[in-house]
Chain A
Amino acid sequence: MSAVPAGGRAPAAIAGARSSPHLLMPMTLLFALLIIAVLRSPVLVTNAGLGSAVIVAAPLILATYALMSTVVAGRGTVDLAIGPLISFINVTLIQLVAADVIGSPIIVFVYAVAVGMAYQLLMALIVIFVRVQPIIVSLSGFLALSGINLVILPRPGGVAPDWMASWGAGTSVFSPVMAILALASLAWLLMTRTAFFTHLRLMGSDERAAYTSGIPITLVRIGAHLMAGFFAGLSAICFTALIGSGDPGQGTTYTLLAVTALVLGGASLGGGRASLAGSLIGAVDLYLITYVLSTFSFGGIQSFVTDLCYGAILVASLLLTLTLPVIQRTIGAFSSLLYFVALAIVALGVILYSTWTGDGPAAPGSAAAGFLEIEALRGAASGAERDGRIWAFVGVLLLTLPLIARTLIMGASRRGIGPIVTIVLAGVVLLGVYLATHGVASAPHGFARP
């Protein structure tokens, strides 16, 4: 999970929060939800739990990326048709595979990405040359694609290609879907280093200024749409892997979810501002909301309560973004990267706490070692000794927090802080890797997907 805001080079990111104060809200929400989720159901942080979380969240994350690439381009380019587009690639893929037209992985990937890019190219050309508002183009695309999806595949069904069958199992974090996600994120991060991205952001915040400074805005806009099509194609592949069949009816759901994740992640619908970290965190937030709500049982009214809480969290978190200027005024320089690190340490503590004391996440009494569980400690610790360790850990945590908070507030604008952040981050990563290598070996497979 990258905490470096898109477009911010390392010194800029460390120099202060001005690079992206918009990430504070989604981050807080992320860790609050993560802590609740882990406390409610520790199975999330096992290898299998994280694996299935990645599988379920990947289509939404990639759909949000797709929206992100066009929304930066300005003119309010929120592609309402993203959901139907994913569905369209999904159902045509299923039908073509059923007809034995395509089958091998490479051709499937090429097909999905090509269809996504072709659609987005068409949209870009219409936006550029017909000069209709993008939202109307996308509304038009939404209706047309939703309709044609039902024509191609009237009801959910069909089978994904054979080689994709095991993708949706989600038994391990290191699945092909994870690889797609990582590569897509990497592609975006690499793209942010190019002049193209600078041009894109300039065009998004002020198209006239971009035009007068000689930026080829037509090309830049087409490029943004092509990237969106690329992500949409990948998202459709992950979606196909997730459901293992074709489903023409998910269009509206994915559109609404992706737009929500985008806004939650701090992107400006007006253009010029969107970040990979924000979109990623926004989409994961949405996944976690659903996950946390699914751990509570309300019987017959489960789905209604889910709706209610979902909407309430959405509105509340957006309202909280209104306090951002106040926060910024009170605390001069606020580093969102350090904030992330601090919250991550707290969350890690909670994860350790919950996986330590729990009697095995899914099946009570089983030797289910969690992803982040320390086998040796688990064996040795018992009774009062274990409690003692927990309190000691909490104590250390409490000592660390003020320290971090102090660094966070006072030194955020100083460049000298760089090494400390790197060391802390590296430490966290190393700890994670260590725990992972010791946890994966004994982690049982076959947890049901949450």
Chain B
Amino acid sequence: MQFPLARYRRLLATYLKPQRGRVLGLGCLVFLGIGLQLLNPQIMRRFLDSALAAQPLEQLTKLALLFMGIAFGQQLLALGAVYLSEQIGWTATNALRADLTAHCLHLDSSFHNHKTPGELIERIDGDVTTLANFFTQFIIQLLGNGLLLLGIIVALALEDWRVAVGLIVCVAAAISLLQKMQRVGVPLWGESRQASAELFGFLEERLAATEDIRSSGARNYVMQQLYRQMLVLYRKTRKAELATAWLYNAGQSMFIIASGLGLGIGIYLYQQQQTTIGGVYIITAYIGLLTTPLEQILRQIQEFQKASAGILRIDELRQQRPAIVDGTGPTIPQQALDLRFEQVSFGYNTDTPVLRALSFELPAHQILGVLGRTGSGKTSLIRLLLRLYDPHQGTIRLGGIDIRNTSLADLRRSIGFVSQDVQLFHASVRDNLSFFDHRIADQQLLAALETLGLTNWLNSLEHGLDTLIKPNGLSAGQAQLLAFARILLKDPRLIILDEASSRLDPASEAIVERALDRLLAGRTAIIIAHRLATLQRADAILVLDAGTIREFGPRQALLQNPQSQYSQLLQHGITEVFA
């Protein structure tokens, strides 16, 4: 695997810089801990030598207390290091999660149409979590344990150079064995996991096909297949387990030989009277310390490989660019807006046009009712107006300004959109109304609910604005009214309403009608209508058919013309046609 190091450095720099102090602190804790780890065997040695030389008891007690103190301090440092590194890791990855989420939210609809929410959760939460270790542990552990390894070897060399040399040879052999373990083990484990995936795939398929299996008289056959699959899994797993175990044990044997060698040299030196009993003890103690840093270093390398895959996927995500370019031009005036479509053509792909050279004009303060069958282009027209997509040709002007020139935020601030299915979050009524914008005061929220006649509903809730809304916990009528309240709070200049096609009960319908009166007052509006009652408030009617205007004109004029589509629709009843 290739490791693009510059990318990692950039990532580390971006997310660790704000926590410089903590990172520095963590480094100090880790290095101090290593020092203490190297120190304690020395104390032990002095203790043994002093005891055997029958030194005063007082001195022995002092050494014993010092040993305990150092061990305790070492644990304290380790604890502090865990705490700090978790804080650093989560703070850094949280920042990365937020950045990635914001980035994805800004990407185009076409991106979201290809990615399921589940996949994005895996990318933003799953992949980033694998990075937590990379942020905190990787460098510190690698450096720390490398230093510890070096420290042990130096400490041993101080006792006797031959011990150090013997040890280096054994450690090198152990490392190469452990690496080989990875090389041999990874493909074998891959096969074992594959067999396991196949077994569960096999089972899932059979569990879904019990009706067919029984009625085909194939139960015994399926059981035999199960036995065969399980046997395959057993053989593959055994092969992988035993191969890794052989190599692991061989590596461990290197350590055994190393400690035997160390002890042997110690005994020899003692017999030559070149060292004390304490000296012999310290050699075995240091060699015993070796296993941990070696295993840590290997583990970090493994973790790093895992994190690398995550980093690559995250980078891939960050490189996605939205096709909708934010405008920097004039802002949209703060008044009721007139709307103009000028020769607008559009399609989701180039060979199937959805809208063809569409032109019409809606004066300020007027309400436009849009009709058309499924696929006639109603939804696309709205999407273009909200700049979820850009037209291939033509211009849309709002308040006289080309909507591609103004900023997206400004455009979307000026337009309020109520869709058929209202998106509610598993959050409080307050957050659902304000879209998590905490700058909106409760007073405003209450006023909006009051305007829409929802005060009684609010009072019926156990915790008022703090009540948790469960998705699907509201009726269609209530959800619709909450969506209206959102729009009132936003106070836009143009309202787009994709009327819910599901029929409301008569009581809710009356409430929604009254609410609509208040919502639309003093604003320009486009309504995709599914009900006759709604059309009656329209000033103009637009009938779309296969992306072109079938009919457009003032409602009254169309009504008086018995030949018009609109008047014919009224006779047939609109819901039946457009359901």
Verify that A and B bind, or say they do not: no
